[in-house]
Structure 1
Amino acid sequence: MSDVPLAPPNADADAAPQARPISGARIVAITSGKGGVGKTFVSANLAAALTRRGLRVLVLDADLGLANLDVVLNLYPKLTLHDVFTGKAQLRDVVLPTPGGFSVVLAGSGMVEYSRLTPEVRSEFLHVIQTITPDYDIVLLDTGAGISDVVLFSISLASEVLVVATPEPTSLTDAYAAIKVLAAQQNRSHIRMVINQTVRPGDGRAITGQLQQVLNRFVATGSGQPLRLIHMGDIPADPSVRDAVMRRQLLLQQMPGCPAALAIGQLASKLQSTLLDQPR
């Protein structure tokens, strides 16, 4: 297992446009420091696991411009958030059912105009979130990777943040950079973590502990206290995951008894017990 780099990257923490978390909404931003760590895979299958627990779940593709949630779910939407933003469709027209029983709102792919947080994108996206959250028990925002202003704004709308990382050094370095920026800009007191593609039991908890040590040395919140990482679980490396992704199927439907699917079920249980079952 690779150690977390102790020479942290100098992430730019200049203030970026953001919104305060929406009061009373159970909104969880699922994000990552870099792409390719399984963030969208986790979002979709976590939604399916939460749905099986009797919750009304929506996944909103917040990766504006580089969306791929439709690919993971094998959906071919006629309408997307792009159509809502441009006034060609109503929000209710772009809410789609999925094979996992949850709902999704998909973003358009390849839309250059959404690569920057313009006032129009900010206003439209905020309106979508405020309009749609009352209909669900939990909304998962599948954000883009990294620390662009669009990513940071979408995260700022969430009451909770779940960072997905893998044991690879590049993933951990970029996860640290993203966490550092979130601490500086959004004054988060804690961030939840799940480590994907672990090889040995306990690897993820050890990795989270190493990241916490780096944060204790280099990062403090507005109150002067270190930001606290909450380890939510590990998802083991599992060949069934690749098979499900290639088939464009939910792992929890194709191989519900495989190690990765069981781990996602445990993640859903922990998320519900530590967040959703708490008083608003």
Structure 2
Amino acid sequence: MSDVLSPLHPTKANTPGGEPRTIRTSNAHIIAVTSGKGGVGKTFVSANLAAALTRLGLRVLVLDADLGLANLDVVLNLYPKVTLHDVFTGKASLQDAVVTAPGGFHVLLAGSGMVEYSRLTPEVRNQLIHVIDTLAPNYDVVLLDTGAGISDVVLFSVSLAKEVLIVATPEPTSLTDAYAAIKVLATQQKRQNMRLVINQAIRPGDGRAITGQLQQVLNRFVNTESGLPMRLIHMGDIPADKAVRDAVMRRQLLLQATPGCAASLAVAQLASRIKSMLPAPQPE
């Protein structure tokens, strides 16, 4: 990839909760995959969604934006020699840190247990912007696998994305935290639309019903700058499926381990919906 990477100077970042930032010189569709709480399968969704989008012919990068508590490498059974930490500290170049994952997409992995990335500093902001500005032009889709919750680091990572995909489960604690995250993103980042996928759905139609319930609460309690209701878009359900746990325990992509299972088919449908959102390719 070294022939297509060109260094860019870091630019000043916006405030952590500020409006989404437009990445320059890029047609890549940047999507933040985030959640209100941990343990809902966010990284599982990011990795398998990337594989499904790659199967649809798209160039995909997954950036592990869960700085300090990264586990994308575990899900993908990768043992990186170079991580974002090495790039940030100048020990390695970006092209050395980008590796090909099972499934054919590219990943940029973060280091785990890095206390210095638990809070947002100007250096971290500028480094993240620099990384995305440099890499995004090489891809059709960039997935930011963020941390969970509403910390400054998570909010800033989400602010770099054009679209937000919230991952939640039907559990009440997950939905309560998802609502809190949506509310913060709608008010602080002035987002008019966000997308929701329900993981570990028990019954068909659960996700659509949950989305409708959350939308009603948002209509009552969340005001956007435009005065219009914040729109929550249901992107699909991933059913509870034993094959998911088996794949995670084996550190395999579900789409490779059990491509015909119900959860794999649901991820493939999610990828098709996301591809339909993308602008038509521009002629050379």
Return the TM-score normalized by structure 1. 0.92
Matched, 1:87 2:90: yes
Aligned to 2:264: 261
The aligned counterpart of 2:10 is: none
Q: What is the alpha-carbon root mean square deviation over aligned residues?
A: 1.2
Matched, 1:174 2:177: yes
Question: Which residue in 1 is equivalent to 2:239?
Answer: 236
Aligned mates of 1:30, 1:132 — CA distance in 2: 18
Is the contact between residue 68 and residue 114 of structure 2 (CA under 8 Å) also seen in structure 1?
Answer: yes
Partner in structure 2 of residue 53 of structure 1 = 56
Task: Report the Cα offset of residue 21 of structure 1.
Answer: 3.1
- Counterpart amino acid of 2:200? Q
Contact between 1:59 and 1:139, CA under 8 Å: does it hold in 2?
yes
Measured against aligned partners, the alpha-carbon deviations of 1:180-233 in whole angstroms (never above 9, x if no partner) come to 000111100100000000111000000000000000000011111111001000
Aligned partner of 1:27 among 26, 30, 36: 30
1:99-248, aligned counterparts within 5 Å?
99-248=102-251
Counterpart-to-counterpart distance in 2, 1:279 and 1:182: 29
Matched pairs, number: 265
Which whole-Å CA distance do the structure 2 matches of 1:214 and 1:17 have between them? 22
What is the match of residue 7 of structure 1?
none
Q: Which runs of 5+ in 2 are unaligned?
A: 1-14
Q: CA deviation at 1:48?
A: 0.2
Amino acid at match of 1:126: I
TM-score normalized by structure 2? 0.91
Deviation readout 1:97-133 (Å, 9 max, x if unpaired): 0111000000000000000110000011110010000
Cα displacement (A) at 1:277: 4.0
Maintained 8 Å contact 2:16/2:159: no
| Deviation by residue 1:37-63 (Cα, 9 ceiling, x = unmatched) | 000000000000000000000000000
Residue 249 of structure 1: SS of its match in structure 2?
Answer: coil
* Distance in 2 between residues matched to 1:279 and 1:172, nearest whole Å: 36
Percent of residue pairs identical: 77
- Checking the alignment, whether the CA contact within 8 Å between 2:17 and 2:185 is kept in structure 1 is no
* 1:121 maps to amino acid: V
Q: Which structure 1 residue ranges, 4+ long, deviate > 2 Å from structure 2? A: 15-19, 277-280
Q: Which amino acid aligns with 1:223?
A: S
